Amino acid sequence: MIDRALIRLNNLAVKGRRTRVKPEEVLLIVPSCLQAAACKQNVVGGLGECRRCGRCKVGPMLDLGERCGVRVVTVKGGRLAVQLARKPGVKAIVVAACEKELRSGIIACLPKAVMAIPNTRPNGPCVETDVDLAEVERAIRWLTRTSR
């Protein structure tokens, strides 16, 4: 409950700062747990491995990244996500993850703008999670001030 409130407050603060960046300055971080459990492709090793079969949200997230012109990475934990987000060319981050990871990631990435989208866990934690793609797209479009 507290994590969700912190995430909402963070997203409001980012909007209040009126952050605006170029699409190439946005990093879209996707958790590896979005991948279908039965999938044999190693998307953590590289998103080029994704076959975009439609059984999970990794393919649609890649499509969204291409459509919006942002870089997409898949990570298997918060530490790697923070490392990637701290790189100099990254000015804003859109990230989908569980509340606990989002909370610690937001704090670790300050003062960079982080738009955080909590994922849902219909099969329990870290297994075939889900995320609202429309919410992710709204966050990217807001940061870049682009329309469809």
Q: In this predicted model, what pLDDT tens digit does every residue of 92-120 receive, in sequence order?
A: 999 999 888 899 999 999 999 999 999 98
Instruction: Kindly state the helix (H) or strand (E) to which residue 114 belongs, with its residue range.
Output: strand 113-118
If we measure between CA atoms, which residue out of 145, 144, 130, 55 comes closest to residue 96?
A: 130
Mean pLDDT calculated for residue range 21-38: 91
If we measure between CA atoms, which residue out of 101, 45, 110 comes closest to residue 73?
A: 45
**Which of 8-17, 29-38, 85-94, 104-113 has the least mean pLDDT?**
29-38
Q: How confident is the model at residue 8 (pLDDT cuts 50, 70, 90)?
A: very high
Phi, psi values for residue 88, rounded to 5°: -60, -35
Instruction: Kindly state the helix (H) or strand (E) to which residue 32 belongs, with its residue range.
Output: none
Is residue 148 over pLDDT 70? no
Is residue 40 over pLDDT 90? no
Phi, psi values for residue 99, rounded to 5°: -55, -40
Is the model more confident about 48 or about 110? 110
56-102 pLDDT tens trace: 889 999 999 999 999 999 888 788 889 999 999 999 999 999 888 89
Q: Rounded CA gap, 17 and 111, in Å?
A: 11
Residue ranges in the chain assigned as alpha helix (H)? 2-16, 58-68, 78-85, 99-109, 133-144
Q: Rounded CA gap, 140 and 93, in Å?
A: 9
Is residue 147 over pLDDT 80? no
Is residue 46 over pLDDT 80? no
Q: Are 28 and 94 in contact (CB under 8 A)?
A: yes
Structure tokens that stand for 26 in this block: 């946005």
Structure tokens that stand for 17 in this block: 């700062």
